[in-house]
Amino acid sequence: MEKDLSSTPAWELDKFVEDHIIADTRFLNKVKADIDYICTFLKEKHLKGVTRSVKLNELMNYKSLMKEIHFKDVKISKVLMSGCFDSESDLKDTTEVNITIFLKGLQIFEEVFWRWEEFLEEIKKELCKLPGEEKFQLHYEVQNPEECYPSFLSFKLSSSELQQEVECRVWLARDVLPDVLPDVLHKLRNNPVLGPEICNDTYSELIHECTTPESEGNYSLSFVELQNNFLEDRPPKLKKLICLVKYWHQLCMEKLGKPVPPRYALELLTVYAWEHGSGVADFSIAQGFRTVLKLITKYEYLIIYWTVYYDFQHGEVSDYLRRQLQKDRPIILDPADPTRNIAGCTIMGWYFLADLAEEWLDYPCFKNRDGSQVRSWKVLTEVPGTKQQVTRNFFSRSYFSFPVSP
């Protein structure tokens, strides 16, 4: 398939994505229906775990307080599919779906880790009750029901008729966002007149809890709903471009056989390229694809972040964010969690991927009908000079980067 994509003329990339990459809607609809059923089944369940008390300083020296937490019943408040799983932005051969279970009643983030095994054991028992139900559209099977994974549970949905299957991984997260906050923040992104102050007190305080060195990036699952919202209302063609980039990333993993940057980093890089290079609903897929690959070849210069759900207005978060942006590049901060640098994998992973991207830039998929090279978008620099400049427009995507040459 690599040969097929690389040799596809630039003007036929749209059709290639539709014919060979975008997932089968019949299978996806069945997967969604079954996962919705499982999510509904799990909601409102209570996890008793082991009733006991612990001293925080014995576990993680949390804020150096000698304080006891009395573990009690924990409620599953909501269950969400993580990431983008729909007919517009996922691959035909999707093999994995992430499901996040949000737990209500935990007092601090660390408690998820302390009680991980207890919670997973109880959820596994609940999942094992489901195969007897007749409401599934696909074959449902809990993976290794006698063995608990260290950090997640797994079940499989498959169709012999369509010859497709998907592994669903179940993760745990502390429910920290007030029920209305994700919707409010989502509306604020498209209506800056409302002002950012509505979320500063709640959301920024939560982010501040995650900024200790031992906590950085560990609790991003609690903000999955905001990650989903960040991509939800994007134009269909941008989702198609994201799909193409994810497919290319899959080809690179298969060819290199080495660690490469995570797929989510490339998804965010694609959004960034479109926002600052195009921003319109109808654009050239080939131009967008080439721009993303050019950005990858310049990975050592990447410093990218968004001021959608957090910004510089909260003093402690602002100081932390500035420290984050001074770290070694590449930097691509999670739009929902500034403590998580998605690009922070091994530098060699970026090196190998950039080398392959450079090779792809000469392939026929970036040639016009007259034989000329497809031109990249101009991704211009905006380097804020002062805190006032950065915070003047809360909803603009502030970033540090570089111009991309055609």
For residue 191, pLDDT over 90 is answered with no
Q: Which residues contact 79 (CB under 8 A, 6 or more apart)?
A: 38, 39, 42, 43, 99, 100, 101, 102
List all residues 6 or more positions away from 153 whose beta carbon is below 8 Å from its beta carbon: 120, 123, 124, 127, 142, 143, 169, 170
Confirm if 114 and 59 have CB atoms less than 8 A apart: yes
Q: How far is CA 112 from CA 38, 153, 347, in A?
A: 21, 15, 30
- Residue extents of the structural domains in the chain: 25-175, 226-391
User: What pLDDT score was predicted for residue 51?
Assistant: 40
The predicted model gives 50-54 an average pLDDT of 42
Confidence of residue 390 (pLDDT cuts 50, 70, 90): very low
Q: How is domain 226-391 classified at the architecture level of CATH?
A: Orthogonal Bundle (1.10)
Structure tokens belonging to residue 18: 């539709």
**Helix 347-360 vs helix 285-297: angle between axes, to the nearest 10 degrees?**
140
CATH class of 25-175: alpha beta
Burial 181-208 (b: 16+ CB within 10 A, else e): bbebbbebbeeeeeebeebbeebbebbb
pLDDT of residue 144: 67
Q: What is the mean pLDDT of the chain?
A: 77
Average pLDDT of the segment spanning 245-262: 91
Indicate if 226-391 has the same CATH topology as 25-175.
no
pLDDT for 368 = 94
- Global pTM value: 0.82
Per-residue pLDDT at 283 exceeds 90: yes
Share above pLDDT 70 across residues of the chain, in percent, rounded to a whole number: 73
* Whole-angstrom distance, CA of residue 359 vs CA of residue 163: 34
Flag whether pLDDT at 351 surpasses 90: yes
| pLDDT band for position 336 (cuts 50, 70, 90) | confident
pLDDT at 8: 95
Among 6-20, 163-177, 379-393, whose mean pLDDT is lowest? 379-393
Structure tokens belonging to residue 258? 């080495």
The reported pLDDT for the residue numbered 350 is: 96
Q: Are strands 303-304 and 331-334 parallel, antiparallel or unpaired?
A: parallel
- Per the omega criterion (within 30 degrees of 0), is the bond before 330 cis? yes
Residue 48 pLDDT more than 70?
Answer: no
> Both tokens of residue 151?
């950090």
pLDDT at site 200: 53
* Per-residue pLDDT at 244 exceeds 60: yes
pLDDT of residue 369: 93
End-to-end Cα separation, the chain, in angstroms: 27
Ranked by mean pLDDT, the top range of 61-75, 130-144, 383-397 is 130-144
CA dist., res. 21 & res. 101, Å (int): 29
- Which residues 6+ apart lie within 8 Å of 207 measured at CB? 310, 314, 317, 320, 337, 338, 339
Q: What is the spatial distance between Cα 248 and Cα 235, in angstroms, rounded to a whole number?
A: 20
Angle, helix 25-42 to helix 116-129, in steps of 10 degrees: 110
